[in-house]
Copies of this chain bind each other. A is one copy, B any other.
Amino acid sequence: MALINENYLKLQGSYLFAEIARRITRFKEDNPNADVIRLGIGDVTRPLPEAVIKGLHTAVDEMADVKTFRGYGPEQGYQFLIEKIIATDYQSLGVSLDVDELFVSDGSKSDVGNIQEIFGVNNRVAITDPVYPVYLDTNVMAGRTGELVNGKFAGVTYLTCNAENNFTPALPEEKVDIIYLCFPNNPTGTTLPKEELKKWVDYAKANGAIILYDAAYEAYIQEPGIPHSIYEIEGAKEVAIEFRTFSKNAGFTGTRCAFTVVPKTVLAATKDGGQYPLNKLWNRRQTTKFNGVPYIIQRGAEAVYTPEGQQQIKSLINYYMDNAKTIREGLKSIGLDVFGGVNAPYIWLKTPQGYDSWSFFDKLLNEANIVGTPGAGFGPAGEGYFRLTAFGSQESTQEAIERIKTKLSL
- Chain A contacts with B in 63-108, Cβ cutoff 8 A: 63-66, 69-73, 106-107
As a 0/1 sequence over residues 118 to 139 of chain A, the CB contacts with chain B under 8 angstroms (1 = contact) are: 1111110000000000100110
Whether A47 contacts B72 by the Cβ 8 Å rule is no
Contact flag A270-B119 (CB < 8 Å), given A48-B69, A57-B57, A106-B291: no
Stretch in A146-154, A207-215, A341-349, A358-366 touching the partner: A207-215
Whether B177 contacts A134 by the Cβ 8 Å rule is no
Q: List chain B residues, Cβ under 8 A from A71.
A: 43-45, 251, 253-254
Contact flag A109-B290 (CB < 8 Å), given A11-B284, A118-B5, A281-B4: yes
Chain A count of residues within 8 A CB distance of the other chain: 81
In the bound assembly, the distance between CA atoms of A315 and B222 in angstroms comes to 54
In the bound assembly, the distance between CA atoms of A4 and B123 in angstroms comes to 9
Q: List chain B residues, Cβ under 8 A from A46.
A: 66, 69
Whether B64 contacts A60 by the Cβ 8 Å rule is no
- Chain A contacts with B in 252-295, Cβ cutoff 8 A: 253-256, 268-271, 276, 278, 281, 284-285, 287-295
Contact of A63 among B106, B208, B254, B278 (CB under 8 A): B254
Residue A410 lies at the interface, judged by CB distance under 8 Å to chain B:
no
Contact of A56 among B11, B60, B106, B123 (CB under 8 A): B60
Whether B72 contacts A8 by the Cβ 8 Å rule is no
Smallest CB-CB separation from A42: which chain B residue?
B72
In the bound assembly, the distance between CA atoms of A6 and B293 in angstroms comes to 28
In the bound assembly, the distance between CA atoms of A114 and B285 in angstroms comes to 11
Q: List chain B residues, Cβ under 8 A from A367.
A: none
Residue A330 lies at the interface, judged by CB distance under 8 Å to chain B:
no
Contact flag A137-B2 (CB < 8 Å), given A63-B255, A254-B73: no
In the bound assembly, the distance between CA atoms of A393 and B69 in angstroms comes to 13
Residue A161 lies at the interface, judged by CB distance under 8 Å to chain B:
no
Contact flag A110-B289 (CB < 8 Å), given A270-B4, A271-B3, A296-B297: yes
Q: List chain B residues, Cβ under 8 A from A2.
A: 119, 123, 177-178, 208-210, 268-269
In the bound assembly, the distance between CA atoms of A4 and B281 in angstroms comes to 9
Min CB gap A194→B, angstroms: 23
Q: List chain B residues, Cβ under 8 A from A63.
A: 47-48, 53, 56, 254-255
- Chain A contacts with B in 27-46, Cβ cutoff 8 A: 41, 43-46
Min CB gap A210→B, angstroms: 4
Min CB gap A204→B, angstroms: 9
Min CB gap A253→B, angstroms: 4
Q: Could you name 13 residue pairs across A and B whose Cβ atoms are closer than 8 Å?
A: A2-B119, A6-B270, A9-B276, A46-B66, A60-B60, A66-B393, A71-B251, A71-B254, A106-B290, A106-B291, A109-B290, A110-B290, A113-B288
